Homo-oligomer: A and B are copies of this chain.
């Protein structure tokens, strides 16, 4: 089958790799119908050392079950299914606590003999735990929206959920990418009254307004902090959702956080240390969040996608075929596209 490999920064290729086969009774093989390029894929796209590559790419996909191992009971061939961006057993103590990213038997796509999501097929370990059945046909118009449940919508939700966003809250979302959009949608779902979206791309912040942002701050750095403080009577925002992953974004998050507030970070950290100065200790700022346990949230968010309450599929503003995926990476990296759908 064909699959996407990244050899080094900027070097994405589609090549033939072995077809996946059932290896354990708990496996399934899924034919991929829809996948996409993630903002987090851009970090290696910018910096992957050729000595580390090639990497099997892709961790967001939905598709049709082709074959199941003898122990799989929850899905069967022909069914349309979605996978979260990490596979897991969904039964261990960490999964039961909603911490699927720490599943005792889980792992990442594209590593340790498991295929990536940007290909024609993938083997799914712990299929009963990992896969979620989608109640739609494989040509449904809802598939792009449902695909966001594999990562970006659930990651945005994790930011809002970890910050304990409640009805009436004022929330700031740092970053207007697909995860930031998911955070806006999620903050609104959890009842936030005011949602300040911080981003510089008007097409993206316009989309954020459609999703529920009530204010947009296009400034950066100290000017952005001053603007958010102006908008909040000088006090700042009690719940800050950091959806970028750079140190600058974290510094901005500290700058706009209200005393006693929470910064919930879901951007993949491109830094080793977090500024945590004496004044922030005095201010009792909480830092929470982390990688999202997407599997924990899929069933919770899916009804809103199915009934049209939310339309997170709007984050996809370009579609490529698998053969053209390298150009999809380029377009996202050049900020020509917000998020790129891939149809094998």
Contact = CB atoms under 8 A, between A and B. Distances in A.
Interface stretch (A28-36, A94-102, A324-332): A94-102
A307 interface: no
Contacts of A287: 274, 276, 286-288
By DSSP majority rule, is chain A's interface helix, strand, loop, or mixed? mixed
Interface residues of A, number: 32
A104 to B, nearest CB: 10
A259 interface: yes
A284 B275 contact: no
A200 interface: no
A274 to B, nearest CB: 4
A272 B260 CA distance: 19
Interface in A269-319: 269, 271-278, 280-291, 293
B281 A265 contact: yes
Given A259-B94, A259-B99, A260-B99, A284 B290 contact: yes
A101 B284 contact: yes
Contacts of A286: 162, 286-289
Nearest to A86: B282
Interface of A: 94, 97, 99, 101-102, 162, 259-260, 265, 268-269, 271-278, 280-291, 293
Given A162-B284, A281-B291, 20 more contacts: A94-B260, A99-B259, A101-B259, A101-B282, A101-B284, A102-B283, A162-B286, A268-B281, A269-B276, A271-B276, A273-B276, A274-B276, A274-B287, A281-B290, A282-B290, A284-B290, A284-B291, A284-B293, A285-B290, A286-B288
